[in-house]
Amino acid sequence: MNAPRRGFDQQEFATRTAAAQTKMAETGMAGILLTTEPDVRYFSGFHTLFWQSPTRPWFLFIPATGKPIAIIPEIGADLMRRTWVTDIRTWGAPAPKDDGIGLLTDLLAPLASRGETVGLMKGHETHLRMPLGDYERLLAGLNGLKITDATEIVRGLRMVKSEAEIEKLTYICAIGSRTFEQVPEIAREGQPLEDVFRSFRREGLAQGADDVPYLVGGADTGGYHDVISPPSRRPLARGDVLMLDTGSNWDGYFCDFDRNWAIGRADDASRRAYDVLWRATEAGIAAARPGATCRELFQAMQKVITELDDQGGDVGRLGHGLGMQLTEWPSHTSWDTTEITENMVLTLEPSLGYGDGRVMVHEENIVIRASGAELLTKRAAPELPII
Amino acid sequence: MNAPRRGFDQQEFATRTAAAQTKMAETGMAGILLTTEPDVRYFSGFHTLFWQSPTRPWFLFIPATGKPIAIIPEIGADLMRRTWVTDIRTWGAPAPKDDGIGLLTDLLAPLASRGETVGLMKGHETHLRMPLGDYERLLAGLNGLKITDATEIVRGLRMVKSEAEIEKLTYICAIGSRTFEQVPEIAREGQPLEDVFRSFRREGLAQGADDVPYLVGGADTGGYHDVISPPSRRPLARGDVLMLDTGSNWDGYFCDFDRNWAIGRADDASRRAYDVLWRATEAGIAAARPGATCRELFQAMQKVITELDDQGGDVGRLGHGLGMQLTEWPSHTSWDTTEITENMVLTLEPSLGYGDGRVMVHEENIVIRASGAELLTKRAAPELPII
């Protein structure tokens, strides 16, 4: 598979912005102010790792009509000028006394004086990426401005991917699948888990990932005990179950899936757990069709999981949305009634507890098409593979 | 150099917590509520990449006396139990209707009823990592609670590193230096910059980094034009100046520095810029002594930079603090009068604009000792090296 073209046509950003503006008009918002990397990138195409530095805030404002307006540190001006955004207002950040607040005030004051409403991301899975003190000072200077939650609008757009986004997601999932196929060459009895992690990251890069920022996992006799730890120096031993879970990315889009292996030999309990999760995933693939809800998808997987575990593990959900972030809305849980629609990209992530405090997780990535789920990841082996 | 031990002794967390509590008592805070990865890790030792998923909030509360209290998703309970924290309160996240807010309310209600004050990180270079809507609902349910800014306290502690922290920073800076030494083997005329980035990341991992999450840079004829872009597919060409700037990490601590090379031959303007920045860095190293201020450090470097560029470039500052984050307080700027003290770890990062819109950056990492600055990075060559 050849690499897709990086970035997007300007038309993609125009379409996204117009779709947001239609929803804004329906709900009476005069604008949306965005502060996080994925939200700013989604509407502007501004793509830089510089967000890893927490020092500077960055803002993108979606007005009621027209292109987004960037209010950003001067250091980002050159890169922003290469996007479709043309109204770029900059200041010499960092400047604790006025880190963009003056520019934002100039932008929003006319709206405040008319008593208009501006949307901010205030809902689930969001946060405000600017100093809380600056936010309070900004509002204090904008008498009359009403703030509302724009999460529903942005969530609704970002959950359904364009073909160009799906192409990038397909590409990184294929890279992830090839990387996992190399694990039997990478992971051997006696090798410290920390070294397995390092080799996996190097392999992911060699296979074409831009980066492998997320890698967690575990290995222990007859099963691992948690799924979010950094690796220990403990050497892999015969009888271990090894799990690696990666979020690798390409051009700003993520895969997010995991694989399990037994080292030397597999114990019966782990084989059984693996089988249940493999079939739970099958049930999830079958249930993931346009018109179904996330709750139904959850129930389809949970029904299989309860053969072995009626606790449902402790990971809180059985999968989620995937795209510019490792995890996105929606959630496959009993409380999420989001309707699954064509061109959503989702993870299926059944998990269970077994034995004496052991857990097992499985994960695949899918895209929803008219006819149902299509796998983006190369399906895990039906039986726990032995290295 | 052998790898230091991972993690910290419990005593380190006890010392950090006690120091915060002393300051809290002085300023009348009954507690500090922390929400971001580095702040939570600093006081608890809780270390996981799972924070890359934006879905779940995590909270650590520093009470007036005693150990911190963790209010976290159940998925993190196993890992948190391995830290020194013993009071761990969990919920089955994600749960949009109550993502920890009930537990936080239970914890803070007694303080609210006494009209006490709780600190939050509200200042420069911070943000609140939880949904803004949840924060507003939390406060609405805590009548009488006063909120104040705890940035000064946490900043004051985190800016001055312990010997165990300095050991980790020394280790990752050595890894970074070895990685840069391999660039002449990695980067060749005709190689697309994207491939140079991928090879550099793989080399950093091979040299012992846990990860190379931050890598930016540029390459263009006679100099690069911005310093925050992702790499292009443009092949390196004779006459280019190539710059790579990495934030690699080990056990949760970062190096952050860059290097420049000319491909095939170096033009006079770039040689000159390089020489000015190399000498500006020397001036910074000489000025970085206990008792000096960040402003004085800035002025010492700026004095050399103005030989060539009186604009001071557009990157906003000439270096910053370094530790658990790629960039931390303080800032080497005209407005930052922070006094430099022993055991601060800092970057020196002079930059300048030259020619037709070109920029050049240099960066070294230092630790402040009683006698002055000690380099953690292997000093850049005094003349622009040619590959």
Cβ atoms of A344 and A310 within 8 Å: the answer is: no
Whether B2 is in a domain gets the answer no
Q: Are B120 and A120 in contact (CB under 8 A)?
A: no
pLDDT at A179: 98
Q: Which of B133, B159, B185 is the last residue of a domain?
A: B159
In a domain, B19, yes or no: yes
* Contacting B residues, span 219-248, partner chain A, CB-CB under 8 Å: 225-230, 233, 247
Residue A387 forms part of a structural domain: no
**Reported ipTM exceeds the 0.95 cut:** yes
Judge contact between B320 and B328, C-beta under 8 A. yes
B56 touches chain A (CB under 8 A): yes
State residue A321's pLDDT score: 98
Same domain, yes or no: B119 and B170: no
Taken in order B8, B11, B17, B20, the sign of the CA dihedral is: negative
Asked, for residue A144, whether it belongs to a domain, the answer is: yes
Candidates B53, B52, B48, B46; CA nearest to B81 is B46
CB within 8 Å of chain B, chain A residues 104-143: 120-133, 136
Cβ of A123 within 8 Å of Cβ of B136? The answer is no
Are A235 and A150 within one domain? no
Among chain A residues, the shortest Cα distance to B130 is held by: A127
Report the SS3 class of residue A347. strand
The phi and psi torsions of A171 (rounded to 5 degrees) equal -65, -45
Q: Is A47 on the interface with B (CB under 8 A)?
A: yes
Measured distance between the N- and C-terminal CA atoms of chain B, rounded to whole angstroms? 28
**Residues contacting B324, CB < 8 A, separation 6+:** B38, B41, B42, B158, B252, B253, B254
Domain boundary among A121, A138, A159: A159
DSSP state letter for A239: T
Residue B339 placed within a domain:
yes
Do A141 and A181 belong to one domain? no
Residue with tokens 């190097």: A202
Tell me which of B140, B159, B178 is where a domain ends.
B159
- Determine, yes or no, domain membership for A382: no
Interface contact B96-A335, CB threshold 8 A: yes
Q: For position A315, what pLDDT does the model report? A: 64
- B321 in the same domain as B208: yes
Q: Token pair for residue B183?
A: 């660039």
Asked if A97 and B52 come within 8 Å (Cβ–Cβ), the reply is no
Same domain, B49 and B19: yes
Q: What is the pLDDT of residue A1?
A: 77
Check CB contact of B331 with chain A, cutoff 8 Å: yes
Can you list the positions of beta strands (E) in A143-265?
146-149, 211-221, 240-250, 253-254, 257-262
State the pLDDT at residue A312. 52
CATH number at residue B32: 3.40.350.10
Shortest distance between the Cα of A41 and any Cα of chain B, in A, equals: 13
Q: Identify whether residues B118 and B219 lie together within a single domain.
A: no
- B73 close to A (CB below 8 A): yes
Task: Say what the pLDDT of residue B356 is.
Answer: 87
Interface residue of A52, A138, A254, A311 to substitute, partner B, most B CBs within 10 Å: A52
Q: What is the mean pLDDT of residues A169-195?
A: 97
- B355 close to B223: Cβ distance less than 8 angstroms: yes
In this model, does residue A313 exceed pLDDT 60? Answer: no
- Contact criterion met (CB below 8 Å) for A112 and A144: yes
Interatomic CA distance for residues A384 and B335, integer angstroms: 60
Average pLDDT over residues A24-37: 98
Query: How many other CB atoms are found less than 10 A from the CB of residue A28?
Result: 11
Q: Which domain holds residue A149?
A: 10-159
Nearest neighbour of B127 by CB, restricted to A130, A229, A233: A130
- The distance from CA A194 to its chain's CA centroid, rounded to whole angstroms, is 24
> Could you report how far apart the first and last alpha carbons of chain A are, in Å?
28
Indicate the average pLDDT of chain A: 96
Neighbours of B81 (CB within 10 A): 12
Residue B313 and residue B225 share a domain: yes
Going through A193-340 in order, the beta strands assigned E by DSSP cover 211-221, 240-250, 253-254, 257-262, 320-321, 328-331
Q: Strand A31-34 relative to strand A117-120: parallel, antiparallel, unpaired? A: parallel
> Closest residue of A to B209, CA-based?
A198
Q: Which tokens in the block code for residue B384?
A: 């622009």
pLDDT in tens, chain B (387 residues): 789 999 999 999 999 999 999 999 999 999 999 999 999 999 999 999 999 999 999 999 999 999 999 999 999 999 999 999 999 999 999 999 999 999 999 999 999 999 999 999 999 999 999 999 999 999 999 999 999 999 999 999 999 999 999 999 999 999 999 999 999 999 999 999 999 999 999 999 999 999 999 999 999 999 999 888 889 999 999 999 999 999 999 999 999 999 999 999 999 999 999 999 999 999 999 999 999 999 999 999 999 999 998 665 556 799 999 999 999 999 999 999 999 999 999 999 999 999 988 999 999 999 999 999 999 999 999 999 999
Which residue in chain B has the smallest CA separation from A314?
B75
Per-residue model confidence as pLDDT tens digits over A187-200 = 999 999 999 999 99
Q: Do A216 and B50 touch (CB under 8 A)?
A: yes
